[in-house]
Structure 1
Amino acid sequence: MTHRRSLLLGALAMPALAHAQTAWAPTRPMRFVVPFPAGGATDIVARVMADRMGEKFGQPVVVENRTGAGGNIGVEAVVRSAPDGHTILMGTTGTLTINPHLYANMGFSPATDLAPISMAFTTDSVLIVNPAVPAQNAAEFLALARARPGTLSYGSAGSGSSTHMVTELFRLVAGIQVQHVPYRGSAPALNDTVAGTVNFMMDQVPSALGQIQGGRVRALAITGPRRSRLLPDVPTMAEIGLPAAESTSWGSVMAPAGTPPAAIAALAAACAEVLAQPAVLERLATAGADGVSSTPAALAAFMASESTKWARVVREASITVN
């Protein structure tokens, strides 16, 4: 059973939490911290959820973008906030389960200084190659990489970024040697993949979709547990024989540790209700995200599993950040 399906099943237990909403509700505007700039998928999901949660609670839910240090600044702002349910965080794969293994002096631990509320969304990545690469499918690409160790290069949004980590997981599982070329963001890395400056990249599906559809790059595999509805002809990692390379980028709603259980339960129930609305799911889909809720317990278990996975990748790939 995939993590995503487990989280969806966990969400089935959410109605039992609904009664908690009568025991707790915000008494003033809420703050929803996004540790990245406005405009990206994480920010869009947070804003859609904030609007609907505000309607449900009868209090504004204000999105606040607190950027910097790979998302650590925004996360720490929530960690240091009063644990009263009025400040929540849109955490991500990187900020919650990768950064703790990359940054030696974060000053806080997502595992102990934050309280899980609910999963919010997932997005998949796609392995893309420049058309000049003589590989029409994943099998041919792997054969090429193994025949020419260390000669193929890939771009990423920077050391420690999700595009870097996902590719390193793929590399480790596939047993290939390739060169990493870090950029300042995924857009220039994608541009150089199109130009042929680097041979391949693993980018999030929404970012790469236009280049794939325009024939400027070739899509070889999806990292998610099932084929993408946007790229139905592209096989998954499991289908190309690398199930251990499966991964998704994700976002989840968190609160400061010590937030009262009644507040956690009410917020989790609100997330489940919002993420069950067809209009919300459709809006998230346009941003390339799959909306998915969970119980706090299911999210905690998922985060622990993800942390173990990414700790291994950081360790075995010797990944460091500047």
Structure 2
Amino acid sequence: MFQFLDRRPASLRRRLGLAALFAAIALPVAAQAQEKFPTKPIHVVVPFPPGGINDTVARPILKKMGELMNIGFVIDNRPGASGTIGTASVARADPDGYTLLLGAASTMAVVPHMMKSVPYSSSRDFAPIGGLASVPSVMISGRPEKYPDFAAVLADLKKRPGEATYGSAGPGTSHHTQMSFLNLELGTSMLHVPYKGSGPAMADLLGGQIDFLMDPLPTTITQVGSGKIVPIAITSAKRSALLPNVPTFIELGVKGFEVSTWFGLFAPVKTPPAVLAALTDALSAALADPAIVQAMASRGMDPLTKNPAEMARYVADENMLWKGVIEKTRIGLD
């Protein structure tokens, strides 16, 4: 039997042995250091201009998540091409948890079916972290004397097919797609008048240049107090506590017409499970914070409390809904 004899000096052997021991101890410590998350600020891409409802939804929740994770969250607005530019940039980002996406109904479920080519897939390229918020819309008119309620609206739409108009913040926005869906459900033919933003659309509604606007509840609330608009119906399943006298479309007989502008937090698809879990835990805790709950309720927003699996199913269902609507209404952007 061959036996190896180490002829190196004993002092050298001891030093080498200690070095090997320290190396063995250091390996798991180094691995733990690499696995620690987060260690630097997390960037959240918002694929729309600053100052809109996207920022309103994201900022307080991300601020709370930052407090819980003891790290900064940085909002990175990257608008363009109906939100597809910023969304695609996250799909291509390193899957390390430091670049996330504020995904919205439009970018994740609507616009992909309105364009011939979109540089991402909402199902294949992203890992859901969880839901953030759901915001219903309100059909409003600037002519209280002509359209005091839904019955008056429906009678006029039937009497003057193809003459009534509705505004939007642009093609593909919730104002546009939700009213197109309503046209489909009612069998009516209101005409779409696109604007460069919701502000000009609201101005023309108040000025009487257009008849209707399907407006997100938070901005509707600011106008209701002026007495210049009349809220006709809301798109949520239940009435809003902020507008308790405004009926839902479902109450009014438009069965199944429940739509919202929703938001969720997403990461690139190959992000490590442990990183996703840490982000999901922080998001869940933020949405449960009483201050966040109160702030959202005061603005007409509902927490979209869905875990990653539930959020994935929700996005899939929304894609099925809007794909069908867009095919039937032919409101493509190309």
Query: Do the structures match in fold with TM over 0.5?
Result: yes
Is residue 128 of structure 2 the alignment partner of residue 116 of structure 1? Answer: yes
In structure 2, distance between residues paired with 1:225 and 1:25: 39
Is residue 247 of structure 2 the alignment partner of residue 231 of structure 1? Answer: no
| 5+ residue gaps, structure 1 | 1-22
User: 2:246 is aligned with what amino acid?
Assistant: V
Aligned-pair identity (%):
39
SS at the partner of 2:130?
A: strand
Deviates more, 1:208-217 or 1:129-138: 129-138
Deviates more, 1:48-57 or 1:249-258: 48-57
User: 2:169 is aligned with what amino acid?
Assistant: A
Q: Which runs of 4+ in 1 moved over 3 A?
A: 285-288
- The equivalent of 1:104 in structure 2 is 116
- The equivalent of 1:259 in structure 2 is 271
Is the 1:155–1:183 contact (alpha carbons within 8 Å) kept by the matching residues of 2? Answer: yes
CA RMSD of aligned residues (A): 1.5
- The equivalent of 1:185 in structure 2 is 197
Shift of 1:261: 1.6
Aligned runs of 1:201-280 on 2, under 5 Å?
Answer: 201-280=213-292
TM-score where L is the length of structure 1: 0.89
Equivalent position to 1:43, from 55, 66, 70: 55
- The equivalent of 1:175 in structure 2 is 187
Deviates more, 1:248-257 or 1:98-107: 98-107
Offset from partner CA, 1:89-147 (integer Å, 9 cap, x none): 11000010011111222221122111111000011100111226623211221122112
Aligned runs of 1:57-136 on 2, under 5 Å?
Answer: 57-131=69-143, 134-136=146-148
Size of the aligned set, in residue pairs, is: 300
User: 2:258 is aligned with what amino acid?
Assistant: E
| 5+ residue gaps, structure 2 | 1-34
In structure 1, distance between residues paired with 2:298 and 2:144: 30
In structure 2, distance between residues paired with 1:306 and 1:238: 18
Shift of 1:287: 4.1
Equivalent position to 1:195, from 201, 207, 213: 207
SS at the partner of 1:268?
A: helix
Equivalent position to 2:153, from 125, 141, 147: 141
In structure 2, distance between residues paired with 1:293 and 1:84: 24
Is the 2:144–2:229 contact (alpha carbons within 8 Å) kept by the matching residues of 1? Answer: no
Shift of 1:288: 3.7
SS at the partner of 2:281?
A: helix
Shift of 1:290: 2.1
Is the 2:235–2:259 contact (alpha carbons within 8 Å) kept by the matching residues of 1? Answer: yes
In structure 2, distance between residues paired with 1:270 and 1:24: 15
Shift of 1:55: 1.6
In structure 1, distance between residues paired with 2:299 and 2:158: 35
Equivalent position to 1:295, from 304, 307, 318: 307
Shift of 1:246: 1.2
Is residue 166 of structure 2 the alignment partner of residue 161 of structure 1? Answer: no
SS at the partner of 1:259?
A: coil
Structure with bigger gyration radius: 2
In structure 2, distance between residues paired with 1:179 and 1:263: 47
Offset from partner CA, 1:284-317 (integer Å, 9 cap, x none): 3344422232110100111111111111121111
TM-score where L is the length of structure 2: 0.86
SS at the partner of 2:124?
A: helix
SS at the partner of 2:44?
A: strand
User: 2:253 is aligned with what amino acid?
Assistant: G
SS at the partner of 2:310?
A: helix
User: 2:127 is aligned with what amino acid?
Assistant: A
In structure 2, distance between residues paired with 1:113 and 1:54: 25
User: 1:68 is aligned with what amino acid?
Assistant: G
Is the 1:130–1:195 contact (alpha carbons within 8 Å) kept by the matching residues of 2? Answer: yes
User: 1:265 is aligned with what amino acid?
Assistant: A
User: 1:174 is aligned with what amino acid?
Assistant: L
User: 2:73 is aligned with what amino acid?
Assistant: V
Equivalent position to 1:310, from 317, 322, 334: 322
Q: Which structure exhibits the higher relative contact order, with contacts defined as CA atoms closer than 8 Å and separated by 6 or more residues?
A: 1
Shift of 1:72: 1.0
In structure 2, distance between residues paired with 1:223 and 1:182: 21
In structure 2, distance between residues paired with 1:304 and 1:163: 22
Indicate how the Cα distance of structure 1 residues 320 and 292 shifts in structure 2: closer, same or farther if over 3 A, else same. Answer: closer
Shift of 1:24: 5.8
Indicate how the Cα distance of structure 1 residues 181 and 264 shifts in structure 2: closer, same or farther if over 3 A, else same. Answer: same
Indicate how the Cα distance of structure 1 residues 231 and 191 shifts in structure 2: closer, same or farther if over 3 A, else same. Answer: same
In structure 2, distance between residues paired with 1:225 and 1:118: 21
